[in-house]
Amino acid sequence: MKFPTDLVKMEPHTSVTLQKEREKANFPVQEMGKFILGEEYIANRERGLEIIRSEPETFDNKEFYFMSRTEKMEKAYQREKRVLELLREGKIKSTDIRYIYSMLDWVSPFDLSRGMFVPTIAQQGTEEQKKAFLEPALKYQIVGCYAQTEMGHGSNIRGLETTATFIEETDEFEMNSPSLTSTKWWIGSLGVSSTHACVMAQIYVKGKHVGLFPVIVPIRSLIDHKPLPGVTVGDIGPKMGYNTMDNGFLNLNKVRVPRFNLLQKYVSVSRTGEVTRPANINSRASYGTMVLVRASIANNMGKQLAKGVTVAVRYTAVRRQFGEPGKPETPVLDYGIVQYRVIPILAKTYAMLGMSHEFMAQYEKSAALIRNGDFSMLKEMHAVSCGLKRWSSDTCIYGVDTCRHVCGGHGFSQFSGLNEFWATIYPAIIFEGDNYVLAKQVASYLVKSAYGLRNKEEIDSNDTTNMFRHFMNMDSKLSPAQLYTWSGKSAQEIASNENVLLDLLGYRVISMVHDLAVKIYGKGQTMEESSVPSQGIATVHSEYIVCSYFNNHINKLPQGSPLRPILKALFKITALSFLTRNTGELYGLPSKASVTREQINGLESEYIESIKAVREQAVPLVDALGVPDEKLNSSLGRYDGNVYEDYMERALSEPLNRDGTGEEIRKRFYDKYIGPTIHASSNNQTKL
């Protein structure tokens, strides 16, 4: 299909408008990218892009929106094969693979082998087991998955039904799925790819229940890839998104595996059925893989939200609607209601990325301690990873949805780059712990910590408990003015002081935790009955941690850094968005620390004004995030601003419109359906 080329040129052209937006930058864009993303990430990103751009026949994404699920899967396997050829030829490193797929924004069917099967063996296997299972997995001689979730159980892992019973006579475990609901379900990399599964099962030895531990189970032949005896395995079918991943099901009918296959770093079963556990090992140690994955989700969400907000900011900056007669129409981003929806998402993207540097450093510190047998940080790391996984996935997914919405009608097109993308990231609010369930775990940790401190128990020091100690002021060393630093200050004074904002965010947490602790310890309310208030507590705690960690990251900059002013403005927007999200939480503070109606109204006004102040820097800020066109795969968010030209080119590539195939399809539809309908016999016609 041909499209006219002799059309009136757009004035001003979208590319010109975007360039003028870039010229408004009041900070060094490249330096900002290095600071907020990290130089190591940028180097890896550029390395991944170099590989992608060297082989467009393998890695070009333009056809993606026209593919069926089977075609997407085949393309994914073609890419995986080529990536591993490059790895084996020594042309790329194993660390490059993650960045290749990240820049393509493409889920690979081998991702869960790399992301969960391998880490589980590395963390929970003995040296002999690492040699037997980890080494071949790293060489892609086997492909694995992490089979925990079942058809009937997800969040409640204690309720998993799959069993592994020790058979002393043969020195084996018998793996069994006793019911339909015990069938492993939703397992990534299982449906077609995996040769082995790391199966979380209830271990039974000599009739006694030992606990829930991982067992390596071969599930497909290494010769012809057919399921092994007793194994029923397949793909669970099409999903809302994530359709290049072969999420699968697995049912085990009395499948025998050697006793050796039980990962035995944290539990050991002898030849004669004696069960032992290493001394000083925390009972939660075997959940280390989940903590890692939740930490990784929280770390990744900022980079995903960066994609959504890049499309939204660039498009609303060049899209023009309404305005004065005789003048160019007004860029949509100049309208206050659009700024109110988009700019806070941009600020939270930066907050999420800044927070991630601090959070991952905490995680690495915790992991190092655990490797040395020190579990002192595990409870906090578990709670914080639950909270930040919940907050970051909620913020990212609902943020990207807002980005789709703010792009208007064109946001509904696949060519916006936001729809398939949104559907693919959506499961992050569900997998590795449903966000509503995770909130209860966070609240439980916070309430127990606060109660323990009040009763002078020995509680580990960390960012949260140190904040609790400060506001509890149990030794009465601090005056009310030192504790409630917002008291007596104007909204402008509060909003312009990062420390005061952090104090208010922190006190809001302990106030809500105190209210729940009174109900639980004073009135006998159960945690199950506390599910609703737990949601708010988990949210305010994560908001405090995000702002605290973001502020820590900003403070790594020298005082005179040209990056500081805009980053402080983004911190301010983020903190104010949290404080004004539900002003009832501020009105609910106790009288000794109250925030007045005048202060709250003033904070809402400060929030609006702070959003307006950042509008001119919006395009330079998304440019600093460095999301490449390959990852965007978007007409609306293109770096060069050629929005409508690319949009039209993609529409003409639709199979219904293509020269050759399009003509044949349209003719077939006309001959079989349209023609017979409009040329039906006159007896059936209605006169118009």
Ordered by start, the domain boundaries in the chain are: 24-106, 143-281, 288-621
- Which has more confidence, 614 or 289? 614
Q: Tell me, what's the pLDDT at 283?
A: 61
Residues flagged as binding site: 149, 188
Mean pLDDT of all residues in 285-296: 70
The answer to whether residue 289 scores a pLDDT higher than 70 is: no
- Cα radius of gyration (the chain): 28
| pLDDT per residue as tens digits for the range 42-51 | 999 999 999 9
Beta strands at 163-167 and 231-235: parallel, antiparallel or unpaired: unpaired
Q: What distance in Å separates the CA atoms of residue 468 and residue 511, rounded to the nearest whole number? A: 10
Task: Say if residue 110's pLDDT is above 70.
Answer: yes
Between residues 659 and 626, which one has the greater pLDDT? 626
H-assigned helices in 105-168: 111-112, 118-124, 127-129, 135-138
Weakest mean pLDDT among 104-118, 146-160, 231-245, 364-378? 364-378
Percentage with pLDDT > 90 across the chain? 85
Residue pointed to by tokens 């402008």: 492
The whole-angstrom separation of Cα 282 and Cα 294 is: 19
Q: Which of 129, 103, 90, 65 is nearest to 420 (CA)?
A: 65
**Residue 108: which residues within 8 A CB-CB, separation 6 or more?**
76, 79, 80, 101, 244, 245
Token readout for 610 is: 């702070």
pLDDT at 168 over 70: yes
User: Confidence band (pLDDT; 50, 70, 90) for 196?
Assistant: very high
> Strand, coil or helix: what is 322?
coil
User: Do residues 115 and 101 make contact, with C-beta atoms less than 8 angstroms apart?
Assistant: no
387 contacts 463 by C-beta, under 8 angstroms = no
Give the separation between CA 88 and CA 139, rounded to whole angstroms.
9
Which pLDDT belongs to residue 249? 98
* pLDDT reported for residue 686: 52
Span 130-136, mean pLDDT?
Answer: 98
Nearest-angstrom CA–CA distance, 633 and 104: 8
DSSP 674: I
Question: Is 1.20.140.10 the CATH number for 288-621?
Answer: yes
Which 3-state string (H, E, C) describes 218-230?
A: ECECCCCCCECCC
What pLDDT shows up at residue 131? 98
What is the structure's pLDDT at 155? 75
**Higher pLDDT pick, 499 / 659:** 499
Q: How confident is the model at residue 387 (pLDDT cuts 50, 70, 90)?
A: very high
Q: Give the pLDDT band (50/70/90) at residue 299.
A: confident
Tokens representing 432 are 């590795």
Q: Per residue in 403-439, pLDDT tens?
A: 999 999 999 999 999 999 999 999 999 888 889 999 9
The reported pLDDT for the residue numbered 165 is 98
- Burial (Cβ within 10 Å: 0-12, 13-18, ≥19) of residue 204: middle
Task: Name which residue leads in pLDDT, 283 or 244.
Answer: 244
**pLDDT at position 123:** 86
Specify the pLDDT at position 379: 85
State the chain's mean pLDDT as an integer. 94
Residues 6 or more apart from 444 whose CB is under 8 A from it? 527, 534
pLDDT in tens, 213-230: 999 999 999 999 999 999
**DSSP conformation letters of 349-383:** HHHHHHHHHHHHHHHHHHHHHHHTT--TTHHHHHH
Measure the CA–CA gap between 607 and 246, rounded to whole angstroms.
Answer: 44
- Residue 281's pLDDT band, with cuts at 50, 70 and 90, is low
Confidence of residue 322 (pLDDT cuts 50, 70, 90): very high
Runs of H (alpha helix) within 215-335: 288-318
What confidence score (pLDDT) does residue 294 get? Answer: 83
CA 251 centroid distance within chain? 29
Edge-to-edge strands, sheet with 248-252: 184-187, 248-252, 231-235
164's CB contacts (< 8 A; 6+ apart) are: 173, 174, 175, 176, 199, 201, 202, 203, 204, 213, 215, 262
Average pLDDT over residues 159-164: 97
Distances (CA, A) of 412 to 345, 415, 418, 427, 628: 19, 8, 8, 20, 21
Q: Phi, psi (5° rounding) for residue 519? A: -70, -35
pLDDT tens-digit series, residues 454-467? 999 988 889 999 99
d(CA 566, CA 288): 37
DSSP state of 589: S
The per-residue pLDDT for 338 is 97
CATH superfamily of this structure's domain 143-281: Butyryl-CoA Dehydrogenase, subunit A, domain 2 (2.40.110.10)
What confidence tens digit (pLDDT) does each residue in 198-211 have? 999 999 999 999 99
Q: What is the pLDDT of residue 592?
A: 93
pLDDT at 541: 97
Q: Is the dihedral of CA 349, 414, 247, 439 positive or negative?
A: positive
221 CB-side CA count, 13 A: 8
Q: 75-84, 288-297, 438-447, 661-670: lowest mean pLDDT where?
A: 288-297
How confident is the model at residue 685, as a pLDDT? Answer: 52
> Active-site residues: which are they?
432
Residue 381's pLDDT band, with cuts at 50, 70 and 90, is confident
**Amino acid in the structure at residue 682:** S
- Please count the CA atoms within 13 angstroms of the CA of 128 that sit on its side-chain side: 7
| pLDDT at residue 284, as a whole number | 62
Q: Quick one: what percent of the chain has pLDDT higher than 70?
A: 97
- Most confident option among 150-164, 269-283, 335-349, 350-364: 335-349
Torsion sign across C-alpha atoms 510, 516, 518, 522? negative
User: Contact 309/345 with Cβ under 8 angstroms?
Assistant: yes
Which residue numbers belong to the known binding site for FAD?
149, 188
